Amino acid sequence: MRILDIEIDNVINGIVAIGHTDYKTAIESFVPLIDKTEFQRKRQDRKFYRKLERDIEDGCVIPPITVALITNSFDELKSPENAGEYITKHIESSFVLDGIQRLNTLSRLKSSDELDFSKKIYVNFIFCDSVEKLLYRMITLNNGQRPMTPRHQVEIMMANAFNFDDLGVKVVSEKEATMKEARRSFRKADIVQAYLAFMAESPIIDNKKIIEEKMDELLVSKIMSVEPSQYKSSFKDFISALQKFQDEPENFKWLKVTNNLVGFAAGMKFSSNRILDLDPEEFRTQIHKFEEAFSDFNPSRIKVGTYRRNLACEFFKNFESYEHMDSDELLSEFSELTDE
């Protein structure tokens, strides 16, 4: 593997190393990265890529793939030589941001007698200190590729970047969970929704009235409109909040509600330091107040789920303005916002 150049990505405050390796090394080093988790994008029907297989055997140049590494060790990446050494040492901790299907296709040819295994494949390595910034870059790389939705990209990023058990939060998929586990855990689908809301800085990340492809397009636009270099906090702060507050049963019950969780994630991004200062009892008091105010809205006159998401987001986004209000004062503020 040879690194030719390094460059700064000023948008995500990261470093990009441009290099190349040969097909043999790519199959040995990069293909295992795309099989690390169950969340990786499903492989397309082989017949869809047969033409690419033939082109590769005939000697085409495969478009560059992109591999990501999360690191704070930027001092070790000052030159192409240093970057190459760092990549070799930490390759098993990296993951593929763009090029999964190209690598799958190449892997299927590993027994081919017609493949020139010494041929070059170009690789961009992105080094970044933030999962959120990498997700931003991942979406800009994959936007427009129909088989991979923003939600699926978040699943891949979460699977590579977060070990929820180590972080003290139990997360299970509906298919994996027993009834007992489901009651004691957060739903994976809800955490994905929360991550999207966190990235978009908005609780409005789905709408059944809008076709899915268009909704994904709108969601990508929201995420891309957020300046990644100005993120207020990390999604790990949100996970830390779940870990801190979940042992109080009423907190856990409230956070298990999808609309509450999504609104909380979108809003907490702006006030994570203050919210993480709360202890579980203080958090419980605050959500009690929120519920008292919310219960005074007439459910027959509002879209309850949408109001809940929006107001939970508003409450935690501007938490320092609301935390000392009582429920009546909070209701007054909420009613003025919803009348606009």
Single out the residue in 86, 118, 133 at which a domain terminates: 133
pTM of the model as a whole? 0.66
Residues 177 and 296 in one domain: yes
Do 182 and 36 have their domain in common?
no
Last-in-domain residue among 133, 149, 173:
133
Question: Would you say residue 150 lies in a domain?
Answer: no
- The secondary structure element, H or E, covering residue 68 is strand 65-70
Answer yes or no: do 308 and 217 share one domain: yes
Number of domains forming the structure of the chain: 2
User: Going residue by residue through the chain (340 aa), what tens digit of pLDDT does each one get?
Assistant: 899 999 999 888 899 999 999 999 999 999 988 865 444 444 555 555 677 888 899 898 999 999 999 998 898 898 999 999 999 999 988 888 888 889 989 999 998 988 999 999 999 999 998 888 888 877 776 655 455 677 777 777 777 778 888 899 999 887 766 677 778 899 988 999 999 999 888 998 887 777 777 887 788 778 777 766 555 688 999 999 999 999 999 999 999 999 999 999 999 999 999 999 999 999 999 999 999 999 999 998 889 999 999 999 999 999 999 999 999 999 999 998 876 5
109 and 181, same domain (yes or no): no
Residues 80 and 166 in one domain: no
Reference 143, options 53, 222, 63, 45; nearest CA is 222
10 and 54 inside one domain: yes
Do 92 and 179 lie in a common domain?
Answer: no
> Residue 118's domain spans which residues?
2-133
Domain end position, chosen among 117, 133, 149: 133
Owner of token pair 């240093």: 82
Whether residue 111 is found in the same domain as residue 52: yes
Verify that 177 and 326 share a domain, yes or no. yes
- Find the angle CA(320)-CA(322)-CA(326) to the nearest 5 degrees: 140
Question: Is residue 138 situated within a structural domain?
Answer: no
